[in-house]
Amino acid sequence: MFSNSFILLNYQPIVYCDVAENWQVSFQDPATPIMEGIINLHHDLMFFIVVVSIFVSWMLARTLWHFDKAQNIHASSLSHGTFIEVVWTVTPAIILLIIAVPSFSLLYAMDEIISPAITIKTLGHQWYWSYEYSDYTNNSDEAITFDSYMVPEEDLELGQLRLLEVDNRLVVPVNTHIRVIVSAADVLHSWAVPSLGIKCDAIPGRLNQTSMFVKREGLYYGQCSEICGINHGFMPILVEAVSLPNYITWIYNKLDD
């Protein structure tokens, strides 16, 4: 299953994976710089994991082979070695230092809020989400607010995804710094959208914040990722990234409602 977001490059359609697939192993395609950084860090760490795994497996196999009675009747009298002990202490420390540099850089970037042009408030309920665009008000000085419920299976239209479609999507513009303030009204929730690299806990009585900078138009699916009760699996998140003119039109229509 793929979202219907695509881009034409040399007349060849490129379809992005912005929703979970059956038997999926890898990440969804990134749509923000943060998610790109997460995937790159994962690939970098996999290099170290593979190298260490091969080396440790080789050491175990070599140990089993040489310490077998059929290979060596007389056991070695070696009890310790200063050089090897220094090597297996210093080498992991160096590897951790190498890993720490990109890790800290990514963590800092995930926590940084860069002069947001738009602020959106997200409130988790049992079992739906509420959104508020407090930057815009109508003639009655009321902000844009709406609830987002999952579309029941019997009401789905052709092309919509089961357990992931909502009646009111969170619409955001592309190439814009957006701050998302997350909280909850009752119990713990978590606002998570994998393609955007976002997972922010929604805690009653506390405001958490995260940011996103969506680089391409499309539909990005997520779900509550904190067990919050019997209908935990039925409060999906659907972020629709559109061009700035379309976003302005959507805001204008919402203010007229």
Q: How large is the average pLDDT for residues 107-119?
A: 87
Q: Which domain holds residue 77?
A: 33-111
Q: Among the listed ranges 14-23, 51-60, 144-153, 163-172, which one has the minimum average pLDDT value?
A: 14-23
The torsion angles phi and psi of 17, rounded to 5 degrees, stand at: -95, 100
Residues 155 and 180 in one domain: yes
**Element (H or E) spanning 178, and its range?**
strand 178-184
Residues 92 and 184 in one domain: no
- pLDDT band, very low/low/confident/very high, at 179 (cuts 50, 70, 90): very high
Residues 106 and 204 in one domain: no
- pLDDT band, very low/low/confident/very high, at 5 (cuts 50, 70, 90): very low
What integer pLDDT is reported at residue 14 of this predicted model? 55
Q: Is the residue at 218 inside a domain? A: yes
CA dist 251 and 105 (Å) reads 35
Residues 137 and 219 in one domain: yes
The torsion angles phi and psi of 174, rounded to 5 degrees, stand at: -80, 160
pLDDT higher than 70, residue 7: no
Q: How large is the average pLDDT for residues 170-174?
A: 95
Q: How large is the average pLDDT for residues 123-151?
A: 91
Evaluate whether 208 touches 118 at the Cβ level (below 8 Å).
no
Q: Is the residue at 1 inside a domain? A: no
pLDDT higher than 80, residue 72: no
- pLDDT band, very low/low/confident/very high, at 12 (cuts 50, 70, 90): very low
3-state secondary structure of 23: coil
pLDDT higher than 60, residue 254: yes
Question: Each residue of 235-253: pLDDT tens digit?
Answer: 999 999 999 999 999 999 9
Token couple for 151:
């579309």
Residues 190 and 69 in one domain: no
What integer pLDDT is reported at residue 15 of this predicted model? 66
CA dist 134 and 144 (Å) reads 7
Token couple for 246:
């379309």
pLDDT higher than 90, residue 213: yes
What integer pLDDT is reported at residue 232 of this predicted model? 93
Cis peptide, bond prior to residue 65, ω within 30 of zero:
no
Residues 124 and 102 in one domain: no
Residues 96 and 184 in one domain: no
Of the chain, the percentage scoring pLDDT greater than 90 comes to: 60
